[in-house]
């Protein structure tokens, strides 16, 4: 028997000095350098994210640094 698993997490981006994750159910949230969420979020972050959200999907991909869905196991 083969185990096949897909692990999904927020997509991670670095854009204009911000490191943040975007989760489908929770929306965007700024992260610390170690990947932990910041305690608070403010107007400056949301102003930056508004500019980021206007980018095309191809442009957003240039700033993506990780996250999303990752398959594990034998899929052949």
pLDDT for 1 equals: 63
Query: What's the rounded Cα separation, in Å, for the pair 26 and 3?
Result: 29
- Domain locations along the chain: 8-66
Which phi and psi angles does 70 have, rounded to 5°?
-125, 125
Cα distances (angstroms) measured from residue 17 to each of 4, 6, 24, 65: 37, 30, 22, 13
pLDDT tens track of the chain, all 76 residues? 678 899 999 999 999 999 999 998 889 999 999 999 999 999 999 999 999 999 999 999 999 999 999 888 887 7
pLDDT for 61 equals: 96
Which residue's entry shows tokens 């999303």?
A: 68
pLDDT for 24 equals: 84
Query: What's the rounded Cα separation, in Å, for the pair 41 and 72?
Result: 33
Look at strands 4-15 and 18-23 and give their pairing. Answer: antiparallel
């Amino acid at each position: 028997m083969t185990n096949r698993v897909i692990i999904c997490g927020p997509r991670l981006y670095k854009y204009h000095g911000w490191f943040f994750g975007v989760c489908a159910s929770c929306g965007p949230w700024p992260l610390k350098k170690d990947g932990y969420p910041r305690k608070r979020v403010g107007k400056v972050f949301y102003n930056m994210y508004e500019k980021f959200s206007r980018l095309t999907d191809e442009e957003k991909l240039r700033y993506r640094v990780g996250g999303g869905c990752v398959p594990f196991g034998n899929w052949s």
